[in-house]
Amino acid sequence: MLLVWKEFTHDPFRPAVTRCTRPWQGGGVTDPVEPQWLTIPDLVEILGISQSRVRRLLEERILVGTRVSGVLKVPASFLLDGEPLTHLRGTIHVLGDAGFDDDEAVQWLTEVEDSLGVAPIDALRAGRKAEVRRVAQALA
């Protein structure tokens, strides 16, 4: 397994490990793709709702974000057709039950999971909700 160190500014003493694509999975060895991040104002514009409503989506864990360079951001992949991904909320709750905080949940959702073969968020977007939640429950 190839590992790449990626540092998150919110915890410089705990670098995250990102798995690279395996050569036999096609495409050869590549650098991990950084997620596109959306700030609160970006979400207000995309979702067409107020800033307080965006914050409520984060509080109710319909969306989940992490601090990048001190700014709260949400991966763009958590949205589909200008709306929060419908299967994300339940998966976030399963991860919370497994002891994940928001930062850890974002990290797990956006990194390739060996048992899924893709990042869990990509599997959710592909309609593999049950499989993703089964893997998330096994993390507890």
For range 55-62, the mean pLDDT: 95
pLDDT at 27: 40
> CA triplet 135, 138, 139: central angle to 5 degrees?
95
Could you tell me how far CA 111 lies from the centroid of its own chain? 7
Q: What is the pLDDT of residue 32?
A: 52
pLDDT value of residue 19 = 41
Task: Quick: pLDDT tens for 79-134.
Answer: 999 999 999 999 999 999 999 999 999 999 999 999 999 999 999 999 999 999 99
What pLDDT, on the 0 to 100 scale, is given for residue 140? Answer: 74
Mean pLDDT for 3-26 is 39
User: Is the pLDDT reported for residue 13 higher than 90?
Assistant: no
Q: What is the pLDDT of residue 20?
A: 40
Residue 11 has pLDDT above 80, yes or no: no
Token match 């207000």: residue? 44
For residue 35, the model assigns a pLDDT of 75
- Whether the full predicted model's pTM is greater than 0.75, yes or no, is no
pLDDT tens-digit series, residues 30-50: 445 567 999 999 999 999 999
Q: How far is CA 37 from CA 26, 40, 52, 74, 107, in A?
A: 26, 10, 19, 6, 13
